[in-house]
Amino acid sequence: MTTASQIAGRTIKSVNPATGAVLRQIDCASDADVRAAVERARRAQPEWNALGVERRIEILRRFQRVLFDRKTEIARAITEEAGKPYVEALLTEVLIVLDSVRFLVENAFGFLRDEVVPHGNPAMKAKRGRILREPHGVIGIISPWNYPFSTPAAETLAALITGNAVVLKPSELTPQTALELAKLLHESGIPDDVFQVVIGDGAVGAALVESAVDKVVFTGSVTTGRLIAQACAARLIPLVLELGGKDPMIVLDDADIDVASSAAVWGAFMNAGQTCLSVERCYVHHALYANFLDACVEKTRKLSVGNGMDPKIEVGPMIHEKQLKIVEAHVEDARARGAQVLAGGSRLLEKGPNFYAPTVIAGVTHDMLIMREETFGPVLPVASFETDEQAIELANDSEFGLAASVWTRDRRRGEALARKIHAGTVMVNDVLSCFGISEAPHGGMKSSGIGRTHGRFGMEEMVRAKYVDIDLVPGMKKVWWYGYGESFARQMEGFVDLLFARGLGKRMTGGVRSAGAVKREKKL
């Protein structure tokens, strides 16, 4: 693996994926820069934590106001660097962050309040326990390009409000958006050293993991996630991994074809299919299959593809050539194995360098790459099934388990199936939108990741639980201290009986046998 020092002095280019124009050239951080940033964050964090949650809430509220005032400018900057249509940048990036702040400012105070823990064991009754939630210290956040604003911002805000400092390593493909985030945070009153950005490629990310950070929150591919997990294991530090998905959509025999086909088209093509929660596999009951496919093809053909700055555009470019090649390889593999490409299936060179036509593929099977590996492009592969059980089996036949959806007019049936699907989130009659529910935990099962971001669970990842126990009878030696012997062993057997023996009689006898322990002579 390269180290950050090997790329010291190198620059990365931020490129508009719709036009290929270079937007900006930025110097990469060196190994020493990364270490120094973490060191500064470590020094600044205690004061940030000492400010208290109420002051931090005020600062986040200010950030919310500043972001709201600049919403159009920020959304346009995201579109320019990541390619997604402006309205998607506004809703899935800016709005999500505004709402994350709303959730955090409403909940952080209660979340960080000491939690009194009543003790059930009678031997522990003369104590008072509290759980304190303390920040880890410095959180290293490493993020991808597909949601270059909302992904790092939601994680950063949860880390900051709970009293941590953050060093963010954004994707090398979208550094400018991360620097915009830094500007907004600093302008709102977050001290410069409490939130820092280190720019560069994977080597800079690796340097961050190897630095003195106390926890890593990583969002990206499974391959990189494994490397990061190994590096964190070597340092014995905790981590969160938000990795890839191959999300299934199940359309049951009682579903509304018109609604479900619109959902499939939007769910597969939003952000040009480059969403971890995209519909990547669609299973439709055989009775609906033909009509569902017709509806998907018709709707797909109506989509406007082009530069996302144009408000009419619904599907923008993909991020870069490497990602397009993966999509092409998956579509070609499916075609070669007998699947039918009903719409799209090729690049749109006339639109610009990175455009791929929204594609609908029928007759796909699980021996095709398109049903097994993350495609991460504007492709909707559709297969049919016979029974609900078969649909569940197909949905669960994947190394991934990020999210899934079930489509039915019968809510109870949908919920019953949702419980059987192996995924971090299952939506009944919707796709993708759970990412916009700030209260909902986001994260996966199996190769899709470890831990959660967003909501209460997301805040929980940013703190360590510390238990503080106060003994209420400080002048008394404990019954269970030294001075063991035959009679003490009998007394303690009685005590265990008192708590857990079957039958009231045995419990009472146990209580009588144990009573003498309280007054026994202590040896020491």
Active site residues: 242, 276
Q: Give the Cα separation of 52 and 69 in Å (integer).
A: 26
Give the contacts of 120 (CB within 8 A, at least 6 positions apart).
none
Contact letters for ligand NAD, residues 238-257 (x by CB under 6 A): ----xxxx------------
202 lines the binding site for ligand NAD (CB under 6 A): yes
Contact 67, 98 (CB under 8 A): yes
Nearer to ligand NAD, 197 or 252 (CB): 197
Among positions 15, 28, 90, 206, the unique one binding ligand NAD when judged by CB under 6 A = 206
Q: Give the Cα separation of 194 and 139 in Å (integer).
A: 10
SS3 label, residue 26:
strand
100 lines the binding site for ligand NAD (CB under 6 A): no
Among positions 14, 64, 150, 171, the unique one binding ligand NAD when judged by CB under 6 A = 171
Please return the burial class of 107, using the count of CB atoms within 10 Å of its CB with bins 0-12, 13-18 and 19+: middle
**Beta bridge partner(s), residue 405:** 249, 427
Among positions 64, 146, 307, 438, the unique one binding ligand NAD when judged by CB under 6 A = 146
224 lines the binding site for ligand NAD (CB under 6 A): yes
Closest CA to 424 of 452, 458, 459: 452
Among positions 144, 316, 353, 455, the unique one binding ligand NAD when judged by CB under 6 A = 144
In whole angstroms, how close is the CB of 422 to ligand NAD at the nearest point?
A: 15
228 lines the binding site for ligand NAD (CB under 6 A): yes
Note the Cα 8 to chain centre separation in Å: 30
In whole angstroms, how close is the CB of 202 to ligand NAD at the nearest point?
A: 3
Q: Alpha helices, DSSP H only, in 137-249?
A: 150-161, 175-187, 202-210, 222-235
In whole angstroms, how close is the CB of 447 to ligand NAD at the nearest point?
A: 10
Contact 68, 98 (CB under 8 A): yes
Q: Which two tokens stand for residue 341?
A: 């490409």
Q: Give the Cα separation of 391 and 389 in Å (integer).
A: 5
Q: Which stretch binds ligand NAD (CB under 6 A): 218-226, 355-363, 381-389, 500-508?
A: 218-226
In the chain the first and final C-alpha atoms are separated, in Å, by 58
Contact letters for ligand NAD, residues 343-382 (x by CB under 6 A): -------------------------------x-x------
Nearer to ligand NAD, 59 or 432 (CB): 432
Q: Which stretch binds ligand NAD (CB under 6 A): 49-57, 76-84, 143-151, 405-413?
A: 143-151
In whole angstroms, how close is the CB of 435 to ligand NAD at the nearest point?
A: 8
Q: Which two tokens stand for residue 14?
A: 């931020």
Give contact residues for ligand NAD (rule: CB under 6 A). 142-147, 151, 169, 171-172, 201-202, 205-206, 209, 219-221, 224, 227-228, 242-245, 276, 374, 376, 402, 442, 444, 449
